[in-house]
Structure 1
Amino acid sequence: MVRILVTRPEPGASRTARRLETQGFQPVLLPLTVTSALPVEASIGGDAVAVAVTSANAVRHAPKALVAALARLPCHAVGKRTAEACRAAGFLAVMEGPGDAEALADAIAGGLAGKAIVYLCGRVRFPVFEHRLSAAGVHVQAIETYDTTAIDYDDADVVARLSGRPVEAALLYSAKASLALVDLIKRPTLRHLFEKAEFLAISARVAQPMEGVAGNRVRVAAKPEEDALLALLSQPR
């Protein structure tokens, strides 16, 4: 059975593992990052006309009182999974975006020019979404609801989690996880576990840190969503 390394944090890691098992793969869980809630003390501007969310974690970690205060505003979610998380959190009018933060910004900017929105987000994020909207004249109030930190494994931890056996492929969902995996691959005692692995990234930005150590063993999903990422497992090189 093909062994697939899952590097995303929980609860997503276990959800992905179940999907892999139904497809006949053997998931090996090695979350390389962990998310944690941040204290949120922001006061929401009364002129906000919409909410934007580019990560499901942003609503999972948001205080219930904050969500309640925003729930009646139109909520623009980056993609399917984030939209589901927004609905589950209590947002009443959720629009599912194209799956990519830049594309979401382009899609909503025209209708929001000159207006204000609340952006629920993580402390660790790429600024392109906010920059695109600001350039289009949208006032963005970013409220950071969670942080993402790398998990520091020692060599013995990694060997134990991988049962001392190489993996055939690794799934990568964030640039921070890619950087952490590069660090593991470079360790002399762990290098052999990844020598023949393929590295499947959810976007080109996530793939970039891997290119220096894995070269042509890096592949990128056709769309920045898990369905497209897992589809790579059944596609020949």
Structure 2
Amino acid sequence: MRRALVLRAAEDALRTSDKLKSLCFTSVVSPVLEIAATEAPVPPGAYDAVLASSAKGIDCAGTDAEPYKPLPLHVVGAKTAKAAREHGWRPDIVAGNADAILPLLRARYPAPAHFLYLAGRDRQAALETGLRDAGHVVTAVDVYEARAAEALSEEARAALAAGEIDIVLHYSRRSAEIFLRLASAAGLTAQLGRLAHVALSQDVAAPLKAAGLSVSCAEAPDEAHLLKAAVALL
């Protein structure tokens, strides 16, 4: 059975491992990022709506966000919407990515609006930039952060050294960068060129390609397409 290296945070990696099992992969898990709440305060404000682009933004929002639950909540991703409902929010607009949600938000709010964005510390700026360019105000609160691991897991190091990994799945540019650094620190850089690498997008693939690795990209930036690309590659 083929072996895939999964670099996601522990909880997400478990879900991915279950999906890989159904595709006849076994998983080696080595989280290079772990999610932690920052406990950043949410500044009081006359917000018109709340935004979240990750389920972790909902999970880590804390009690400061409670007063804003009656406001419209607009989210990126079905997983984010599910987390919102579990926490007592009522998602309104739900879209697959920032590019998809921006025109919907602009149509809903033709006049300047003030959005509270429950965000992660390391994130792409497309959503905020798109709204600000349209004349809106966005107050982004970094309610969670992704902390870099100090080393690859012992299982991952052993499997890479023994040539027992077939494919590596890359979900974010930052995690790809951290993986390259940790592999180098473990003396495993030479092994990486012998592996198949699949990235969620061209942006995610960029540091891998810069390191001289051959990378395949998912046709769309979601896990279903990433796993489809992994199966096709092998």
Query: Does residue 38 of structure 1 match 2:38?
Result: yes
Distance 1:155-1:70 versus aligned 2 partners, 3 A rule: closer
2:221 paired residue number: 224
Residues 36 and 152 of structure 1: is their aligned pair in 2 closer, same or farther, counting only changes over 3 Å?
A: same
Give the partner amino acid of 1:105. L
Equivalent residue, structure 2, for 1:83 = 81
What TM-score does the superposition give when structure 1 sets the normalisation length? 0.88
Post-superposition offset of 1:195: 2.7
Whether the aligned pair in 1 keeps the contact of 2:114 and 2:138 (CA below 8 Å) is yes
The one-letter code of the counterpart of 1:22 is: S
Contact 1:166 1:193 in 2 (8 A): no
Residue in 1 that maps onto 2:147: 149
- CA-CA distance at 1:125 after TM superposition: 1.3
Task: Sort the Cα spacing of 1:70 and 1:188 in 2 relative to 1 into closer, same or farther, 3 A.
Answer: closer
Secondary structure, counterpart of 2:90 in structure 1? coil
- Shift in CA distance, 153/70, structure 1 to aligned 2, threshold 3 Å: same
The alignment covers a number of residue pairs equal to 233
Q: Note closer, same or farther for the CA distance 1:22–1:157 as it changes in structure 2 (3 Å cut).
A: closer
Deviations along 1:90-109, one digit per CA (max 9) or x if unpaired, are 21234320x22233223312
Q: Percent identity?
A: 27
Is the contact between residue 78 and residue 100 of structure 1 (CA under 8 Å) also seen in structure 2? yes
CA distance in 2 between counterparts of 1:19 and 1:74 reads: 33
Per the alignment, do residues 28 and 158 of structure 1 end up closer, same or farther by CA in structure 2, a change over 3 Å counting?
A: closer
Residue in structure 1 matching 2:168, options 167, 170, 173: 170
The whole-number CA distance in structure 1 between the counterparts of 2:168 and 2:215 is 10
Contact 2:150–2:182, Cα closer than 8 Å, also in 1: no
Q: 1:66/1:31 Cα in 2 relative to 1: closer, same or farther (>3 Å)? A: same
Q: Does 1:7 align with 2:7?
A: yes
Q: Runs of 5+ in structure 2 lacking a partner?
A: none
2:125 to 127, 134, 148: 127
Whether the aligned pair in 2 keeps the contact of 1:51 and 1:118 (CA below 8 Å) is: yes
Which amino acid is the alignment partner of residue 122 of structure 1?
G
Does the 8 Å CA contact 1:164/1:193 hold for their aligned counterparts? no
Q: How high is the TM-score relative to the length of structure 2?
A: 0.89
**Which residue in the other structure is 1:212 paired with?**
210
- 2:112 equivalent in structure 1: 114
Is the 8 Å Cα contact of residues 87 and 94 (structure 1) preserved in structure 2? no
**Residues in 2 aligned to 1:26 and 1:218: alpha-carbon distance in whole angstroms:** 21
| In 2: Cα distance, 1:199 partner to 1:168 partner | 9
Instruction: Work out whether residues 180 and 189 of structure 2, in 8 Å CA contact, stay in contact via their aligned partners in 1.
Output: no
Equivalent residue, structure 2, for 1:49: 48
1:181 shift after superposition: 1.6
